[in-house]
Amino acid sequence: MIKNILKGIKAYAGTFKLISKLGLWKYFVVPMAISFFTAVLIGFSAWGLSDNLGSFISKIWFWEWGSETFRTISDFIGALIIIALGIILYRHIVMALSAPFMSPVSEKIEKHLYGINHSHRKTSNAEQLWRGIRINVRNLLMELLLTIPIILIGFIPVIGIISSVLLFLVQSYYAGFGNMDYTLERHFKYSESIRFVQRNRGLAIGNGMVFMLMLLIPVVGIILVLPLSVTAASTETLRVLENSQSLQKKIE
- The confidence score (pLDDT) of residue 211 equals 95
Q: Can you tell me the mean pLDDT for 50-57?
A: 66
**How do residues 83-124 score in pLDDT, each as one tens digit?**
777 788 888 898 899 888 888 898 899 989 887 654 566 667
Average pLDDT, the chain: 83
Model confidence at 237: pLDDT above 90: yes
**Could you tell me the residue ranges of all domains in the chain?**
2-251
- How many of the other CB atoms lie within 10 Å of CB of 159? 10
| CB-side neighbour CA atoms (13 Å) of 163 | 20
Confidence of residue 251 (pLDDT cuts 50, 70, 90): very low
- The confidence score (pLDDT) of residue 219 equals 82
Give the best-scoring range by mean pLDDT among 40-44, 61-65, 205-209.
205-209
Q: Can you tell me the mean pLDDT for 33-43?
A: 85
Nearest to 209 by CA among 198, 225, 223, 220: 225
- How many of the other CB atoms lie within 10 Å of CB of 144? 12
Model confidence at 249: pLDDT above 50: no
**How do residues 161-197 score in pLDDT, each as one tens digit?**
788 889 899 999 999 999 999 999 888 888 999 999 9
Number of H helices, E strands in the chain: 9, 0
Cα angle, residue 188 at apex, residues 97 and 193 outer, rounded to 5° = 70
Model confidence at 252: pLDDT above 70: no
Cα–Cα distances in Å, from 69 out to 61, 82, 154? 10, 20, 18
